[in-house]
Chain A
Amino acid sequence: MLNMGPQHPSTHGVLRLVVTLDGENIVDVVPDIGYLHSSVEKMMEYRTYLQNVALTDRGMDYLTALANEEGYLLAVERVGRIEVPPRARYLRTIMLELQRLSSHLVWLGTWGIDLGATTVFLYCFRERERILDLFEQATGGRLHHVYFRPGGVYEDLPDGWTDRVLAFCDEFVARVDEYHELLTGNPIFLARVQGVGVLPRDRAIAMGACGPVARASGVDFDVRRAFPYEAYGELAFDVPVFQEGDCFARYRVRMEEMRQSVRIIQQAIAKLPAGEIRAKVQVNVKLPRGEAYARTESPRGDLGVYLVSEGGDMPYRVKIRAPSFSNLYALTEMMRGWKVADVIAILGSVDIVLSDVDR
């Protein structure tokens, strides 16, 4: 038996893994969660729809604040039948993809540190600071934005923002090549991730894996393409799918997703329509009786929000289907049979955020 965590440099938060070992071989892994349970679903029942937007940033996956806002507000807008103006839909799409870039950069940097490549961390955070600057100029926040509002977004873009984003996009494509050089060209990195932690396609589906983890195991599914929301239906992008199911495939899926995000941002800025940024709804929005399930593709996978309204300005119940939670249970499948030294590599490749698991 080996106890890993909850305070461990590589757990990316507070996760406890109870690893049963036979010598160096992993027999079983039992994750112990709940160390970051913020009871956000319960708190939402006592706050108005507008106040809950700030809560989704903090209480759910903190690396992808805007993706949480999107999932929640999509459900609100479906219940209230609020039509989001086209410009707001495009602005949301641009912000969501920038958020995907910044989230994947944190994953790549921290995984690099776990595997002993500190340089990657410094490189990734260099680019991430650029993205955070762009966020700060447009939304006012670095990590928690509260930028999306029921029916649109909070504010229009500042002058020259789109040019700065395009300049960043051009530069960023070259940066992704740089990361590839640092990691894919590194034989030590390849030895630690190639063929390690294989999750076969049928097991991935059975364990409910989603997002990049499922796509690395050959599940060709992306919510942005299958059930388009915001402006994704009008933009062209590829969904990277790999068949191997190992850590290296998960790494390549995310690297390719970063390139595709840049493509989406460039197209969305080219097509960005003029006009209203917010539908004509009152600030403290009141919803009719009803319920809705909104499904979005957060950087970690399939993020679902089920919202029940009894009328009034507060939800009756909000249920969050967190992508990290289902990926965490696929982790057991991936780790079984591998050596104890591979635990860190496999855990990092799944990209779990414990705030998303516990909520």
Chain B
Amino acid sequence: MSAEAPRPTATPTRVAPIQTAVDILDTLPGGTVVLSKVEYLLNWSRAASLWPLTFGLACCAIEMMAAWAGRFDLDRMGVIPRATPRQADCMIVAGRCTIKMAPIVRRLWEQMPEPKYVISMGSCATCGGPFYYDNYSILKGIDQVVPVDVYVPGCPPRPEALIEGLLKLQEKIKVEPFLRRAVPA
């Protein structure tokens, strides 16, 4: 007998549906019923329709607007701008925040319903940026007044960077123990 290629295994390795789907979904026999955790489904839907409060303060707001305009089109990720904190899931603080503005940022954050997230867009919102030294009016980072989930670096960050930040926030939301979370006092 001449040398022949090794025979392929009789049955290809069966990939469990739990791995083909996002490691969580499982179909019962017949394929019409899906098993999942309620928490996963809730997190999945929350992450896929993230409605941010457009909180444009300075230059970064222009790049934030550009991210919603034609070329970058944030709407395709379910990220739709809201103008009121009551309808928003997360807050994008875009630009430098003055000490005069800080109480208002805090109040808007408090007005948002739980669960809520904050994206700090740009160097100024993150740490004061170019206004760190010799400056009497700019807050050295928005995290002094509100808790920040994602920091987007840049001066100003490109719209791609903001999209990356939102995707990071979506990742964070997807693995969150949403139903078991501690309710903040």
Contact = CB atoms under 8 A, between A and B. Distances in A.
A114 to B, nearest CB: 11
Interface in A122-140: 122, 125-126, 128-129, 132
Contacts of A109: 65, 69
Interface in A51-91: 54-55, 58-59, 62-63
A13 B59 contact: no
A125 B96 CA distance: 23
B42 interface: no
A355 B59 contact: yes
A6 B101 contact: yes
Contact of A126 (B58, B71, B138): B71
Nearest to B55: A7
A46 B158 contact: no
Contacts of A143: 59, 62-63, 156
A219 interface: no
Contact of A9 (B70, B83, B138): B83
B120 interface: no
A50 B18 CA distance: 59
A55 B158 CA distance: 19
Interface string A10-34: 0001100000000000000000001
Interface stretch (A36-44, A174-182, A199-207, A304-312): A36-44
A289 interface: no
B131 A43 contact: yes
A142 interface: yes
Interface of B: 54-59, 61-63, 65-66, 69-71, 83, 95-96, 98, 100-101, 104, 108, 129-131, 133-138, 155-156, 158
23 contacts: A9-B54, A35-B100, A35-B101, A36-B58, A36-B96, A37-B98, A38-B96, A39-B135, A42-B135, A43-B133, A46-B134, A58-B59, A62-B59, A106-B62, A106-B65, A109-B69, A122-B69, A122-B70, A125-B71, A126-B70, A126-B71, A144-B59, A144-B156
